[in-house]
Amino acid sequence: MGITLLLGGGAASLSAQPPRLSAESEVSMVTILPGDPVYSMFGHSALRVYDPAQGIDRLYNYGTFDFSDPLFIPKFAYGHLRYFLSVVPYQRALRAYEQQRRPVIEQTLSLTRADRTALFRELQINARPENRYYQYVFFFDNCSTRVRDALEQALGDAVQFGDRPRPNATFRQLLDPYAASLPLVDLSFDLALGTPADRRVTPREAHFLPDYLFEAFAHATVQSGDTTRALVARTDTTQWIDGYDATATAFAWPSAAGWIVLLLTLGWTGWQATTGRRPGEYGDALLLAVVGIVGALLCFLWFVSTYTVTTYNWNLLWAWPTHLAAAAVLLGRPSATGLRTYLVATAVTAVFVALGWTWWPQDLHTAVFPVVLAVGIRSGWRAMAPEVSPAEMERGMRTA
């Protein structure tokens, strides 16, 4: 996915007919490892064109976006993401990645002078104002896949990626290691992504992640005439950051928070049941409202946004957007006709979801399981509890 933000870098001059690269020129695939900002959590891929004879040393970056756009968040939510190919001096890009504390690895490509020139001209054409923008698609058309596509567009069938890498995983599973240090982001991904993310990834589809594109380049071949050779001639660590750790993880606090909610729910419900108290409205309304908001967002991503990977989301089995209305009714008219039936249906569905947890075609996040149980317990208890508690009935009889 690798996204980078390099605004104000200045585009290199884009001539109508780019010059032919010299014999000293080199073209490299540059992989930037993940950084701390969320937009850099998957790493990044770009292409470097270096020609000392002509004073060219540029980084062609398909992962550029304008975060200053006041409509960026609405466009992101709707799925209308326009990214563009930027061209910046390579050393300036290196300094930016050094400031972000991100290592840079460079794979110099084993291309003929004619092939290097063809790729350079393809990049120059793509960088023109009328061509530079494209519709960003999370899994299938991003900064990494565009690097591969530019190479194939320039060289045609001469470059072959074969069947590497072989991830043997789903899209969702490929994302998990990158979100290990960002538990809330990991939860958000699992809530937002539907069953399309639970399909096994093909070797070519895995190129959407820079790490996997790096491996694909390392095992690819290129043909010149009757000669077939490795695509990568040399791999260099251009920039390393002392203390960098790509395997860092964080405490899975969303899951812990979910179990705390369940424990509090059990204690709260048990206390009400043993003391003969009638369920209160505010706590249950809050729980239903939060779950309802989640359901409303999932419905937006499925039915309104242009994303295809957020469709057919099985989280809607437990996160009903109608819980928002139920919460409002509970606060305004807790004895309203039909509310008890609705709560019975909610409780039964929660039990159904929990019993089939490992069988659903979508991988649901572990933090969700205790929340589903909590909703089921509170809905079931409220549906079964009498309108008036035994203690209140006794007080009423004494008053009479």
pLDDT grade, residue 277 (50/70/90)? confident
What distances in angstroms separate CA 250 from CA 35, 176, 182, 186, 232, one per listed residue? 15, 12, 7, 11, 35
pLDDT grade, residue 304 (50/70/90)? very high
pLDDT grade, residue 8 (50/70/90)? very low
Most confident of 6-10, 17-21, 132-136: 132-136
pLDDT grade, residue 334 (50/70/90)? confident
Run of H or E including 122: helix 113-126
Region 41-56: mean pLDDT is 97
Q: Which of 143-147, 325-329, 385-389 has the lowest mean pLDDT?
A: 385-389
What confidence tens digit (pLDDT) does each residue in 35-45 have? 988 889 999 99
What confidence tens digit (pLDDT) does each residue in 128-161 have? 999 999 999 989 999 999 999 999 999 999 999 9
Closest CA to 142 of 74, 76, 84, 60: 84
What confidence tens digit (pLDDT) does each residue in 211-233 have? 999 999 999 999 988 899 999 99
- Structure tokens, 33: 């490892």
Q: Please state, in angstroms and rounded to a whole number, the distance separating the CA atoms of residues 142 and 41.
A: 14
pLDDT grade, residue 72 (50/70/90)? confident
pTM (two decimals): 0.89
- Please report the DSSP string for 132-156 in residue order: SEEE-BTTTBSHHHHHHHHHHHHHG
Is residue 10's pLDDT more than 90? Answer: no
Task: For the chain, give the mean pLDDT.
Answer: 91
